[in-house]
């Protein structure tokens, strides 16, 4: 496993996923695809060259809560006009750099704000949040969805 810090980018279409935590940072395992888009995209879906990855990094925690940063990286070859990240095991109480709402399958869905939706290929944007719950002890990999056009 390799540990990643905030602000790092993933440039391949196969992004790492989180499998545990070391020293307050998300530990990730390469080779598990958490990107979306690709050759199977149909009409109205992201283009075949659109993909993104989301990497969470946990900061401090306390009983019943935690702080977290999520870096969203455009891993595709076309610019994104927006993005969303599903954090399956996170209940976000406050979010900076995104708009949060409950996800129908549990956890939180965070979408871009008007000022950080455009992401050029190979670049990243970050968001921060304060969450409730146990945070790093039950976190599951985030799912990133790109928007184009």
Query: The CATH number of the domain where 78 resides is what?
Result: 2.60.40.290
| Residue position matching structure tokens 């695809």 | 33
Taking each continuous run of H as one helix and of E as one strand, the counts in the chain are 0, 11
Contact in structure between 131 and 93 (CB atoms under 8 Å): yes
Q: Is the dihedral of CA 108, 113, 116, 120 positive or negative?
A: positive
C-alpha distances (whole Å) from 51 to each of 28, 40, 62, 76 are: 19, 12, 34, 5
What pTM was computed for the model? 0.69
Measured from the Cβ of residue 63, the count of other Cβ atoms closer than 10 Å reads: 5
| Domains identified in the chain, total number | 1
What is residue 138's predicted lDDT score, i.e. its pLDDT?
62
Q: Which domain holds residue 18?
A: 2-147
Residues 27-41 have pLDDT tens digits of 333 333 344 444 444
Residues forming a β-bridge with 95: 129
**pLDDT tens readout for residues 47-96:** 568 999 999 998 998 988 999 999 999 999 999 999 999 998 889 999 99
State the pLDDT at residue 5. Answer: 36
Specify whether the CB–CB gap between 118 and 80 falls below 8 A: yes
């Amino acid at each position: 496993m390799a540990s990643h810090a905030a602000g790092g980018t993933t440039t391949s279409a196969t992004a790492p996923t989180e499998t545990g935590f070391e020293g307050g940072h998300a530990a990730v395992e390469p080779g598990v695809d958490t990107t979306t888009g690709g050759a199977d995209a149909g009409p109205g879906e992201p283009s075949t060259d659109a993909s993104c990855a989301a990497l969470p990094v946990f900061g401090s925690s306390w009983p019943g809560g935690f702080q977290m940063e999520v870096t969203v990286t455009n891993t595709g070859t076309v610019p994104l006009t927006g993005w969303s990240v599903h954090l399956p095991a996170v209940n976000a109480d406050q979010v900076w750099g995104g708009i949060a709402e409950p996800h129908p399958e549990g956890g939180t869905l965070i979408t871009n704000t008007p000022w950080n939706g455009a992401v050029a290929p190979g670049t990243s944007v970050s968001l921060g949040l304060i969450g409730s719950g146990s945070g790093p002890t039950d976190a599951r990999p985030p799912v990133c969805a790109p928007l184009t056009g």
